[in-house]
Structure 1
Amino acid sequence: MSTPKFAQIKQFIVNNIRSGMWLENQRVPSENELTAQFSVSRMTARRALSELTEAGILTRSQGLGTFVASFKSQSSLLEIKNIADEVKARNGNYSCTILVMEAIHAIAPIAIALGVEVDSHVYRSVIVHNENDQPLQVEERFVNPHLAKDYLHQDFHRHTPHEYLSQVAPLTEARHTVEAIMPSSEMCQWLNLYNEEPCLQVIRRTWSSAGIVSFARLVSPGSKYRLGGHLTFKK
């Protein structure tokens, strides 16, 4: 099966960015230029540019054109996305490194966050999410075993904790806080940071209709990750 034309255009653009031929904030070919270069309709060229813009690879400015976006990975602050899908949407290669999978006794802060009794058993995982074999985010997650009893038996190389929990305890509510932190030496090791730099930390609690499902700490290097969102207001 031949590759669709819009996908060929997307790969052409991504390859030029990855190779360093097109630099951050550099203008990329317009819809008309891509239409002529690839012998496609303008709609096909627009689809390629639009999908790369939605993935955060390109940025469009009305009247000026389309440009290579900042090289920081971007996640939405207004919705919860699966990090593997975010990476793949940027035409990146997703992988993960599982550091910890264990059952622990919940100390008071964790018990309160999960709505369980102090010293009761909860599940803990620590996973490094990678993009193109480079650490992008450390996810430390505590899970209520009553709502995800098989959590520790999952192969998170095949699907992320977010994907699994969304299946067994569909999300109904989420709350999160965002702050800049200086990483610990252990965190620097997990993220392959040779020089300390500020990191972005997201603390997130998620609920299903049956109660609190998980409490997670997501940490990413400030130089590689950012949060963004788009709001549309009704008149």
Structure 2
Amino acid sequence: MPAAKYHSIKQFLFNEIASGRWTEHQRVPSENELANQFKVSRMTARRALQELSDEGVLLRTKGLGSFVAPFKSQSSLVQVQNIETEIVQRGQKHTAELITLESRESDQEVSIALSLPIGSPVFFAALIHYQDGQPIQLEARYVNARLVPGFIDQDFKQVTPHEYLSKTLPLTEADHIVEAALADRQTLHYLKLNAPQACLQLTCRSWTALGVVSYTRLTHPGTQFRLSSQSAVN
């Protein structure tokens, strides 16, 4: 029973945030308040709060309580350009292969990233980007279907998703997480890698004035791609 209650509390908290009823930096019920509401121990309530904190959904501050985490960062040292533009600027040829383009219902991860209720309509696109015939990027992108209803009808062999979104709804802001990730079997296949190796993986969210428009994971062979940034030194 405690396990079922713990999941119920966690789902309740998440739904209030994903639906927009609780906004950024808003205080959420305390361990005691949740324990009384769901008739469970404080330990059960604490587990739900702590796991949402570990997942980046909540911020917990000792002595103050738990708060809805910000949905976007304020700045980024890394600027991610359209992959086609980068390749062309290097004097090489860009081509793309569309793997998947379909409608889906958002799961918990996608709902949090796009600030949507669970089960909201989203579009999913997966592509391989090539540089002179060599796969250089695996793109997996979720798009808010309400904001960009025409996304599902595009020919992404002719225009990249990034370029289409930029022209359709000018992107005003983005955040990026850069990390090393060991390629799984599917990634090895798509990027034509002969053996497991570390890849450079960027997880990105893009905003327009109307809200979060896309949530994307970009995976590159670690030996064939690098990021650079430039900033002023005071």
TM, length-normalised to structure 2: 0.66
Cα distance in 2, alignment partners of residues 210 and 179 from structure 1: 29
Give 2:95's aligned residue. 95
Alpha-carbon displacement from aligned partner over 1:109-159 (angstroms, at most 9, x marks no partner): 111111111012100000000000110000000000111111011111111
Sort the Cα spacing of 1:77 and 1:159 in 2 relative to 1 into closer, same or farther, 3 A. farther
Give 1:170's aligned residue. 170
Give 2:104's aligned residue. 104
Unaligned runs of 5+ in 1: 1-75
Aligned positions, number: 159
For 1:94-133, list aligned pairs within 5 A: 94-133=94-133
Give 2:140's aligned residue. 140
Cα distance in 1, alignment partners of residues 98 and 187 from structure 2: 14
Sort the Cα spacing of 1:160 and 1:77 in 2 relative to 1 into closer, same or farther, 3 A. farther
Give 1:179's aligned residue. 179
Give 1:188's aligned residue. 188
Question: Given residue 167 of structure 1, which amino acid in structure 2 is its aligned partner?
Answer: K
Alpha-carbon displacement from aligned partner over 1:152-191 (angstroms, at most 9, x marks no partner): 1111111110110001111111111010010110010010
Contact 1:84 1:160 in 2 (8 A): yes
Question: Given residue 198 of structure 1, which amino acid in structure 2 is its aligned partner?
Answer: A
Identical columns (%): 35
1:78 deviates by 2.4
SS in 2 for 1:224: coil
Cα distance in 1, alignment partners of residues 172 and 85 from structure 2: 20
Alpha-carbon displacement from aligned partner over 1:25-52 (angstroms, at most 9, x marks no partner): xxxxxxxxxxxxxxxxxxxxxxxxxxxx
For 1:1-235, list aligned pairs within 5 A: 78-233=78-233
SS in 2 for 1:226: coil
Sort the Cα spacing of 1:159 and 1:177 in 2 relative to 1 into closer, same or farther, 3 A. same
Contact 2:200 2:222 in 1 (8 A): yes
1:232 deviates by 2.5
Question: Given residue 161 of structure 1, which amino acid in structure 2 is its aligned partner?
Answer: P
Contact 1:147 1:168 in 2 (8 A): no
Cα distance in 2, alignment partners of residues 78 and 118 from structure 1: 30
Q: Which runs of 4+ in 1 moved over 3 A?
A: none
Unaligned runs of 5+ in 2: 1-75
Output the aligned Cα RMSD. 1.3
Cα distance in 1, alignment partners of residues 112 and 92 from structure 2: 37
Cα distance in 1, alignment partners of residues 168 and 90 from structure 2: 28
TM, length-normalised to structure 1: 0.66
Alpha-carbon displacement from aligned partner over 1:93-119 (angstroms, at most 9, x marks no partner): 100010000001111111111111101
SS in 2 for 1:95: strand
